[in-house]
Homo-oligomer: A and B are copies of this chain.
Amino acid sequence: MTDTPLTARGRQRLEAIVRASREVFAEKGYEHATTAEIAQRLGISEATVFTYFRGKRELCLRVVADWYDEIIGRIEAGMPLAAPARTQLDFFVRTHLQLFLLHGTGLCALVLSEGRSKGPGLGQDLAPLQRRYTAPLMALLARGQQAGAIRTDVPLRLLRHLVLGPMEHILWEAVSQARPLTPADIDAAADALVTLLWGALAAPEGELAALRQLRDQVGAALRGV
């Protein structure tokens, strides 16, 4: 109910609730998390939770928003804007994988899973958050295109899918196998992924570029026959 608790005590409580909720939602997912368990972990009454949040959905949304805020903050703060596009991409990919995997795979799973659910879940309300979270990548890609380092013959949207898609997949594999990745694993994965991605994103040059264009045009023409 209270939008901004004023007292220190209130803020502490609110944060404690968010923290506990983060745990529970991360462990159980949205549908299987219960307000009862959240309250129980804090040793408070269930009603108290509803003093601070209008309901389960709002609570979970807050959890996810906090989480995204943290990630976005770190990405934006550390992004080497002056460096070449490939370096920026590397930073983005690497930082992401690190944050998600080192920090807690549960929330990662929550976001990945609930972002896809239908009905009265949170899918709908998660979308804006995800969009905000995608912004740094879009900006990065746009900068790369302007600098001539990233190809411009493909819609930005698709480039985004190309980057985010594999990352999500890698993340999910790690999460679902419950085999914690070491920092070294993460670095290796980031290295390989960036190398791969750059092959796709980089603006082609010279003969190779011309040849590729030829091939694509011929291929497309053939399909029309």
Closest residue of chain B to A211, judged by CB?
Answer: B211
Which residues of chain A from 114 to 160 have any CB-CB distance to chain B below 8 Å in the complex?
114, 116-121, 123, 127, 154-155, 157-160
0 or 1 for each of A100-126: is its CB under 8 Å from B? (1 = yes): 000000000100111011111101000
Residues on the B chain within 8 Å of A157, using CB: 173
Secondary structure call for the A interface: helix
Answer whether residue A9 sits at the interface, using C-beta atoms and an 8 A cutoff: no
Contacts of A195 in B (CB 8 A): 154, 212, 216
* Known contacts A162-B196, A168-B169, A208-B211; A118/B127 CB under 8 A: no
Residues of B within 8 A of A219 (CB): 90, 191
- Chain B nearest Cβ from A155, distance in angstroms: 7
Q: Which residues of B contact A218 (CB under 8 A)?
A: 214, 218
Complex: A197 Cα to B201 Cα, angstroms = 9
- Chain B residues whose C-beta falls within 8 Å of the C-beta of A123 in the assembled complex: 113, 176
| CA gap between A184 and B214 in the complex, in Å | 21
Write the nearest CB–CB distance from A211 to chain B, whole angstroms.
Answer: 4
Q: Are A176 and B127 in contact (CB under 8 A)?
A: yes
Partner of A200, one of B168, B200, B220: B200
Residues of A within 8 A of B (CB): 27-29, 31-32, 90, 109, 112-114, 116-121, 123, 127, 154-155, 157-162, 164-170, 172-173, 176, 187, 189, 191-193, 195-202, 204, 207-208, 211-212, 214-216, 218-220, 223
20 extra interface residue pairs, beta carbon distance < 8 Å, beyond A31-B119, A113-B114, A164-B169: A29-B118, A31-B121, A113-B113, A113-B116, A113-B123, A117-B117, A127-B176, A157-B173, A158-B193, A161-B166, A165-B166, A191-B219, A196-B201, A197-B200, A199-B200, A199-B202, A200-B200, A208-B211, A211-B214, A218-B218
Subset of 7 A-B contacts with CB under 8 Å: A29-B121, A154-B196, A155-B192, A161-B173, A162-B193, A165-B170, A199-B212
